[in-house]
Chains A and B, each alone.
Chain A
């Protein structure tokens, strides 16, 4: 379920690896004024759910992102429930009674520094993981972790997968849709297994996957984060589902998890 262009990129990389080299360079970069960054998640398991609010920093600064404090953060649903989140630590707002449900549409409202930002997300029906296993890599000689799930027929489905190695987020976040294989059993191979023989995985590592069903807006956000950090095309900011120019996303999603020990 990887994008074919990724395969092309791998192939290109192979060609170029014959003579290419990389180095760290100094670049003079412009700096824009700080923008607000919001990330909010509602899941179908028990809360509390978190909303992170922070600011951008200049590229040359260390990766310490200033929290936005004293914001008014509200999550409401289309059933008439509404809850104002508490700031548990600077920039992190948590829910208490809210319980995510499939089919319910949630609205996030953030009032901060005199501006209001809103986002809407609908929680899809859950899809469970059929099995998780280790197999020979589809490309190269290594082995890779893969899992199967059965895509529900008749509706457009969007998925997000987060991979953790030994409980730390390692290789990243992937999204996909069922356009090509509607209603079929879909195999998803994880990126931790490199194309070379030496995998980043060591024997005994625990690989955990967080498998989410997301809505179209969230899928679009993650799809448009591809190519966020290179110059192969004109890079742009991903399409956020939050209004008023905020960066980030708000997602109501179902979550299923499974793990396997890599041997």
Chain B
């Protein structure tokens, strides 16, 4: 249980919290102690120990049943947010995830994190998100340590994460610990469920457009467990009912599987296997089809080297690819793929209370086929030339309590990124024509980049209920996504740093004030941040991004800056809980040749962003929830004039992103009806309505001649979703 706190009753202030593998370490003088373990939403457990030598104490926390929740009396260590060093991090409770309404009723991690401060939606119904002014490709999305390159199903209306298969979600907003790296803006670290090691169980849900089922149980009781989750949408089955054969011949679905198993070999060794496989299929009769999907696999070994030294070894594989097939007499295929083979070794050394050293190495081989277009029908992926890149990192970080009030974590990540042969590399002249071609052999290094990424954070505890935190971190990104759509398309292209593309670099400083009220019932924080970005990517006017061998010649490099204020107030306990989140921010870019080289707002710049979430438990059977969101519209470019060419009206554009989309706001409702809950069987219904007051939110604005009076032009707004109801039936036995 990640982040569960362990405290010692006899020595207040002493304790620890479990690491990402549920492992903890506390150093105490010999004696008789009562040690308790707690985790929000779970019943605390206390064990009495007589300590005269090193001991291993395991806790099994169970989910609190409803009746108990009302009588929970706050005990120590509910102020974890105050005492913990880390800032700019947000954990999402999987229990909140269950209750918050989302579109189409499909519980969704990526939609729910967008309700937190500093994390903004990339568009209506989109699973893409922007963290502190970063682009959507500047988020590192990890599923059991494996990178997920495209987290969207069905054009982003769903995320690839099946919430039934997820145990823990953390988002680091740019100041992540040194063990993470590779993206500028954030790390979204998702851990899969381990499965129940006590008894076999089945759970699932049947919804309007998708169904899911999960099977979990022990491999060997108390020693190992497994979980298998599967999900499929059936929008295409509804499409079949349509009389229009264009629609009823359409293929439109996705499916995904999550599999995980773990086994405790002995007290010192535990092994985990986890995998994900998902596919999207979209097609119109036989003439057009697109398939895309991710697959990941992780093998992990936890090993206790000694009482104080914990080791984790992981072997990771990740794959994302898409294939577009067009067949209108002549066949055409477009193929793109990115593959990672990775090895990770982490150590945690518990020197003493509040004195921990973390260090490790990480090595990844990236193989990239960046969008190839071919007229051959059966393309052998093996025969295609990959771009090879080798990424290595060593990190070290030390967390230390300088005094009872002041603690510090400092460290650095040393990274190398090398682009290698075999392959051809080009240099370009000023008009983007290839100037030189260089051919490299297998394994030959073409270009390497070395970077040091320092990270430091401080926490000064003012008192039991408040603290001040500060941090600085540098992040480097060597894989860059080229996208010519806003909300993310499966055909977005990943390219590595190369002789033409330099690594992106960000430096972020942030300062935060954390305060709890009413005996930790309310949690409040405010953070300010300033971020400087180097080697940001944009495209030349009229850039041809797709299927262009010389795509690197179409890129412009520039600077960026982002700054903002985030506020968050959460009521954590009780029948009524929820939060208010507010972000005031600005994010700007500066490129030679765009807007005369002046700073201009990035597309994702949204001045105000507000989310209000409320969850109310009426009684044992009914829970109601509601969310309301408001944000300033994206920065966009509207025409400043029009003209005529070949009898057609054309739009004239001046400054990039000088205009705003209309403000976005929306209210959603959700309700959960727990029909039956016994030890052996549980069933519930969930209902939701998306955009309950039917706000016409602008998804897109187009400009055209009025159809009836062609001497006039007009602006047309497209709205995607209004009053979208949904329901689903969930069961567990």
Contact = CB atoms under 8 A, between A and B. Distances in A.
Interface of A: 4-5, 7-8, 10-12, 14-16, 19-27, 29-32, 34-35, 37, 39, 54-59, 61-65, 138-141, 162, 169, 172-173, 180-181, 184, 186-187, 189, 195-197, 220, 223-225, 228-239, 247-249
Contacts of B269: none
Contacts of B2: none
Contact of A5 (B491, B659, B718): B491
Nearest to B719: A21
Interface of B: 154-155, 235, 244-247, 250, 252, 282-285, 287-288, 290, 324, 326, 328-330, 332, 334, 373, 375, 484-486, 489, 491, 541-542, 544, 546, 603, 636-654, 656-659, 661-662, 696, 698-705, 710-722, 724
A126 B391 CA distance: 52
B10 to A, nearest CB: 61
B541 A19 contact: no
A236 B246 contact: no
B648 A173 contact: yes
A30 B659 contact: yes
Given A32-B654, A63-B642, A230-B701, A22 B719 contact: yes
A50 to B, nearest CB: 11
A139 B657 contact: no
B245 A140 contact: yes
Given A24-B716, A139-B285, A231 B637 contact: yes
Contact of A181 (B375, B642, B718): B375
Given A54-B643, A187-B329, A234-B657, A8 B489 contact: yes
Contacts of B324: 4, 7-8
A229 B244 contact: no
B608 to A, nearest CB: 19
A228 B154 contact: no
15 contacts: A11-B288, A11-B290, A15-B154, A30-B638, A57-B642, A63-B712, A169-B646, A169-B647, A184-B330, A228-B650, A231-B701, A232-B700, A234-B636, A236-B656, A238-B650
A233 B651 contact: no
Contacts of A22: 716-719
Given A15-B154, A169-B646, A237-B652, A25 B640 contact: no
A138 to B, nearest CB: 4
Given A195-B246, A225-B650, A27 B641 contact: no
Given A57-B641, A233-B485, 11 more contacts: A5-B491, A7-B288, A23-B719, A29-B638, A56-B652, A65-B644, A196-B246, A234-B603, A235-B651, A236-B653, A237-B652
B373 A24 contact: no
B546 to A, nearest CB: 7
A27 B638 contact: yes
Contact of B710 (A31, A63, A195): A63
B722 A21 contact: yes
A56 B641 contact: yes
Contacts of A247: 643, 645, 650, 652
A236 B287 CA distance: 32
Contact of A24 (B284, B329, B651, B714): B714
Nearest to B290: A8
B716 A25 contact: yes
A141 B531 CA distance: 53
A5 B642 contact: no
Given A22-B716, A22-B718, A249-B645, A29 B640 contact: yes
